């Protein structure tokens, strides 16, 4: 089974922390966090620390932005 055609870009997605902050706030209640880039081959990964939630939860987490090409195969989801 072929996942990618020859003309598809397979690099890791690029996600701006400013955009991710809005998503984290509206979806998870994270009001503030410090972003640290983590290495990822096909994904965009961040270590979040100093997290301030709208409720009491851990102050460290990993955020993974999956490459959209991974979703082309149901086996990868």
Q: Could you tell me if residue 35 is inside a domain?
A: yes
Measured CA to CA, the distance from residue 73 to residue 77 in angstroms comes to 7
- Residue 12 has a pLDDT of 73
The structural domain count of the chain equals 1
For the cut 60, the answer to whether the pLDDT of residue 66 exceeds it is: yes
- pLDDT digits over 15-45, tens only? 888 899 999 999 998 999 999 999 877 888 9
Q: Could you tell me if residue 73 is inside a domain?
A: no
Alpha-carbon dihedral angle through residues 9, 4, 41, 61, given to the nearest 10 degrees: 100
Q: Could you tell me if residue 42 is inside a domain?
A: yes
Measured CA to CA, the distance from residue 65 to residue 16 in angstroms comes to 11
73: confidence class by pLDDT, cuts 50, 70, 90? low
Provide the mean pLDDT of the chain.
81
Q: Could you tell me if residue 56 is inside a domain?
A: yes
Closest to 33 measured CA to CA, from 13, 64, 58: 58
Q: Could you tell me if residue 53 is inside a domain?
A: yes
For residue 45, the enclosing domain spans 17-67
């Amino acid at each position: 089974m072929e996942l990618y055609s020859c003309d598809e870009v397979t690099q890791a997605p690029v996600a701006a922390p400013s955009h991710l902050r809005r998503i984290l706030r509206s979806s998870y209640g994270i009001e503030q966090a410090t972003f640290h880039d983590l290495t990822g081959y096909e994904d965009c990964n961040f270590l979040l620390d100093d997290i301030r939630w709208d409720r009491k939860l851990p102050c460290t987490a990993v955020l993974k932005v999956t490459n959209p090409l991974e979703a082309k195969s149901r086996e990868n989801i």
